[in-house]
Amino acid sequence: MAESPELRQVEQLYFSQAPRLFALCYLHTGGPKGAAVLLHTLLCDLLLSPRCWKQASAHDAGLFRCAHTLCMDRYWNRPRRKKKKGSVPASPGSSLPFTMTDALRALLDLPPQYKTALYLRLALGWSLEDTAQAASCSPKKAGKLVEKGLKRTSLTPERAGAVLSAIAPTESGPQEVWDSFLISREDKGFTGSQRLRRFKRWLDSAIPFIALGVVSLCALAYCSVEYGWLGAEAYTPTPSSGYGVDSATIYSVKKTASIYSVDKGEIVLYSVTNCPLSHQALLQQMVALGGAPEGASLLSVEQEGGLIAWELSEEAVQWFRSVSETEGEQMLSAMAATISASWPDVEELHLVSAGEELAVSGKTAQDMLGQKLTPVRTVTTPYRE
């Protein structure tokens, strides 16, 4: 088991990379305060987590991997807030030695998975192997992240590298973070609170596996009773009025869904009758009628307030890569229109496939929300199983 480091060892490692760690955290948070909070948390992990220290002290890529993990944890666990239209990242402030430019805004607006790879590769000149280690991906994936990030921002590698290299803390910034860390370390509850924080982080990552285990046990228990797997007599239900009822009666939450489809470059509106009000059923009809990429399936859904986020199978992003920008933009706008027709209160829409948000010419489904599509014809059709 790895041993915990001494305080002077943490201090030496931190100050050796403090400006660059600040730049990475600033890129992920968009502000100096958020960056300082992440640096403070990183210092806590370095001091109290032997596993984190072993990884960080072995290689620079290990240290930045610890920082990258904290940045991604912050993104996934942040409170969901409605994004104001037209909002832009705040200016760094007069105290920081760089200014907010259009290029920096474009980089800050990128999804988080692109930022670490872009910074390490272009600002620090790291190899793809080291970049991949820090970004928790393969070298091939790291190269694609850099390439796609540049494409989304319309920046050249030289321009993006210059902008990213300019991000730096104030002269006293790293020392202020260290002083704050030392003060919090003197608190009697410091060790306990940090252990609790790391336990909650572990629990967040373990919950899907725990849930899978519970579902598996429930399925095993059901099959044991239903089919007599454990030697007991198989359960035979007594016929009653509840049996023999067709699915249309049981699943009564149905409606007429509006499916926008693309047919030879034209928009066609299908009114699908008796369509179950579910994300899975809606996508199934969209694919069948040409309103979503062929072969796409729904892996997961997040719906909270005005937010809807679909994680689609890899077939979706492959389809968009294989068609022209015009075809891709029509399809993306049709998908956004169909989803907003079924859930009119949606204000934030994300369609993700293979770890990246579907986009055409820099436009995502969020940008397509609210667009009025004019169909060339309207067709009424029943729900297709």
Integer CA distances (angstroms), 336 to 291, 294, 305, 310, 372, in order = 10, 16, 17, 11, 11
The torsion angles phi and psi of 312, rounded to 5 degrees, stand at -100, 160
Residues 270-292: tens digit of each pLDDT: 999 989 888 999 999 999 999 99
Residues 240-275: tens digit of each pLDDT: 433 443 444 434 466 889 999 999 889 999 999 989
Residues 352-379: tens digit of each pLDDT: 998 889 999 889 999 888 888 999 999 9
Using CB atoms within 10 Å of the CB of residue 365, give its burial: 0 to 12 exposed, 13 to 18 middle, 19+ buried: buried
**172 contacts: CB under 8 Å, gap ≥ 6:** none
The torsion angles phi and psi of 241, rounded to 5 degrees, stand at -65, -15
pLDDT of 249 reads 40
Mean pLDDT of the region 228-239 = 56
For each of the domains in the chain, give its residue range(s) and CATH number, in order of start: 7-77+98-205 (1.20.140.160), 256-382 (no CATH)
Residue 94: band (very low, low, confident or very high) from pLDDT cuts 50, 70, 90: low
Q: What percentage of the chain has pLDDT greater than the value 90?
A: 60
69 pLDDT exceeds 70? yes
| Joined tokens for residue 290 | 């040409």
pLDDT of 240 reads 42
Residues 126-184: tens digit of each pLDDT: 999 999 999 999 999 999 999 999 999 999 999 999 999 999 999 999 999 999 999 98
| Joined tokens for residue 65 | 């991997």
pLDDT of 78 reads 66
Asked whether 358 and 364 are in contact (CB, 8 A), the reply is yes
| Joined tokens for residue 74 | 């912050």
Q: Is 239 helix (H, G, I), strand (E, B) or coil?
A: coil
Mean pLDDT of the chain: 85
Residue 185: band (very low, low, confident or very high) from pLDDT cuts 50, 70, 90: confident
Least confident of 60-64, 80-84, 115-119, 219-223: 80-84
pLDDT of 245 reads 39
Residues 294-321: tens digit of each pLDDT: 999 999 999 888 899 999 999 998 999 9
| Joined tokens for residue 299 | 């892996």
Asked whether 288 and 64 are in contact (CB, 8 A), the reply is no
pTM score: 0.51
Beta-sheet pairing, 348-353 with 307-312? parallel
| Joined tokens for residue 243 | 């049996």
pLDDT of 243 reads 41
SS3 content of the chain, % helix, strand, coil (to 5): 55, 15, 30
**238 contacts: CB under 8 Å, gap ≥ 6:** none
- Counting every residue written for the chain, the total comes to 385
Asked whether 27 and 119 are in contact (CB, 8 A), the reply is yes
Residue 239: band (very low, low, confident or very high) from pLDDT cuts 50, 70, 90: very low
